[in-house]
Amino acid sequence: MRFTYLLIDIFSVLVPFLFSFHPSLKFYKNWRSLFPAMIITGAVFIAWDMYFTHLKIWGFNPVYLTGIYIGNLPVEEVLFFFCIPYSCVFTYACLYVMIKKNISARYQIIISSLLIAFSLFMAIWFHKQDYTCYTFAALTILLFTAQFILKVSWLSIFYNAYLLLLLPFLIVNGLLTGTGLQNPVVWYNPAHIIGLRILTIPVEDIFYGMDLILLNVMIYTGLSSRSYPWFKNQRKAINSKSSLTYVKTIS
Q: If you compute the radius of gyration of the chain from its CA atoms, what whole number of angstroms results?
A: 19
pLDDT band at 224 (very low <50, low <70, confident <90, very high): confident
pLDDT band at 100 (very low <50, low <70, confident <90, very high): low
Report helix, strand or coil for 46.
Answer: helix
Q: Which of 85-94, 99-108, 151-160 has the lowest mean pLDDT?
A: 99-108
Query: What percentage of the chain has pLDDT greater than the value 70?
Result: 88
- pLDDT score, position 243: 40
Secondary structure of 146-197 as H, E, C letters: HHHHCCCCCHHHHHHHHHHHHHHHHHHHHHHCCCCCCCCCEEECHHHCCCCE
**What is the Cα 57 distance to its own chain's centre?**
21
Q: Which residues touch 188 (CB under 8 Å, ≥6 apart)?
A: 57, 58, 131, 177, 202
**Per-residue model confidence as pLDDT tens digits over 50-67:** 999 999 999 999 999 999
Summarize the confidence of residues 12-28 as an average pLDDT.
Answer: 93
* Spatial distance between the Cα atoms of 128 and 42, rounded to a whole number of angstroms: 26
Residue 166: C-alpha distances to residues 93, 107, 115 (Å): 16, 21, 17
Summarize the confidence of residues 64-80 as an average pLDDT.
Answer: 98
Asked whether the whole model's pTM tops 0.75, one would answer yes
Q: Which amino acid is at 96?
A: Y
